[in-house]
Amino acid sequence: QVQLQESGPGLVKPSQTLSLTCTVSGASVKCNYCHWSWIRQPPGKGLEWMAAIGYSGSTYYNPSLESRTSISMDTSKDQVTLQLNSVTPEDTAVYYCARKLGSANPYEYWGQGTQVTVSS
C-alpha cells in the first residue's frame, strides 16, 4: 500500500525558507509514470497546486510561485522535497504531497497534510 507522509517545521518566520519533505512508503519515487506534487490549502481557501516532479526528474511549477519554489527527489530515501523561499504570512497553509500516474490523470494518493504557519 502506498503511503505519503509530509513533514515540516510547523512554524516559520517571515522571509525564511520553508523546507518540506514527503516520505513515500510502499512505492519508489522513481516508479514508472509517477508524478509527485505539492499542493497547499490556505485557511478558508481552495487547493493550490504548487509544483510537481516526474519519475524522470522533470520539474513543473505554478507560475505564480516558480520564482520562490524548488522541488526535488531523493531516490535513495524515497523522498520528495519542496523548498519555498521568502515566505510571508500568506504562505500559511496545510501542505500536501500527492501522487498520480501520468500527468493527465487524477491524484490517487495523498498524504494527510502538514500545517505550516508563517508568523514572527
- What confidence tens digit (pLDDT) does each residue in 34-80 have? 999 999 999 999 999 999 999 888 999 999 999 999 999 999 999 99
Instruction: Report whether pLDDT(102) > 90.
Output: no
- Residue 5 is predicted with a pLDDT of 98
Location of C-alpha cell 513533514 = 7
Contacts of 82 (CB under 8 A, 6+ apart): 18, 19, 20, 22, 38, 50, 51, 69, 70, 71, 95, 97
**pLDDT band at residue 28 under the 50/70/90 scheme:** very high
Mean pLDDT of 75-96: 97
pLDDT of residue 104: 85
**pLDDT above 70: percentage of residues in the chain:** 100
Q: What is the mean pLDDT of residues 90-113?
A: 95
User: Taking residues 8-18, what's their average pLDDT?
Assistant: 97
Whether 19 shows a pLDDT value over 90: the answer reads yes
